Amino acid sequence: MSPESERLVRESWARLAPPKRDELVAAFYSRLFEANPELSRLFAHVNMVEQRKKFATMMNEIVRVIDAPELLVSEIASSGRRHVTYGVHDRDYEDVGAALLWAFAYVLGDEFTPEIQSAWRDAYALLSAVMRRAAARQSGELPVSTS
């Protein structure tokens, strides 16, 4: 990601004070489950209030380390490996990305400029690529690198 994209991600996330962050996360899950009802089944026995808090915490951490690839990749790869055990499939990442961008647009409205949208699209592309690769290794679809 470019430094400009990193800045836009940070600034747009900072605009979402906790009530708006809660709204964003709730909108994200609502849109995600509407687009992919199969994913809602993965959360059937999950306390969604707690899940939304965890998601917001994860997003805070991602934004905090967005310019520190060594930390970002390590944390996100770990998340990708965990998501395999939850039943998430590679194909689900597209729906997650679309729901996330939709939620930002919904909550930020006119403040979700094309530049901010592009920055979040870049951020999600990076995050999902790392998670997908880690998940593929976890599930045995990719060999584990020895280098």
Neighbours of 25 (CB within 10 A): 23
Which domain does 48 fall in, by range? 3-136
User: Is 0.95 surpassed by the pTM of this model?
Assistant: no
- 129 falls within a domain: yes
pLDDT of residue 147 exceeding 60: no
- 3 state SS of 16: coil
Q: For 66-88, how does the pLDDT look when each residue is reduced to its tens digit (9 = 90+)?
A: 999 888 888 888 888 888 888 88
Whichever domain contains 99, its CATH number is 1.10.490.10
- 101 falls within a domain: yes
For 26-53, give one letter per residue: b (16+ CB within 10 A) or e.
bbbbebbbeebeebeeeeeeeeeeeebe
- 43 falls within a domain: yes
- 147 falls within a domain: no
- 97 falls within a domain: yes
- 146 falls within a domain: no
Q: For 106-137, how does the pLDDT look when each residue is reduced to its tens digit (9 = 90+)?
A: 999 999 999 999 999 999 999 999 999 988 88
- 142 falls within a domain: no
pLDDT at 146: 47
The alpha-carbon radius of gyration of the chain (Å, integer) is 15
- 10 falls within a domain: yes
Q: For 25-66, how does the pLDDT look when each residue is reduced to its tens digit (9 = 90+)?
A: 999 999 999 999 999 999 999 999 999 999 999 999 999 999
Total structural domains within the chain:
1
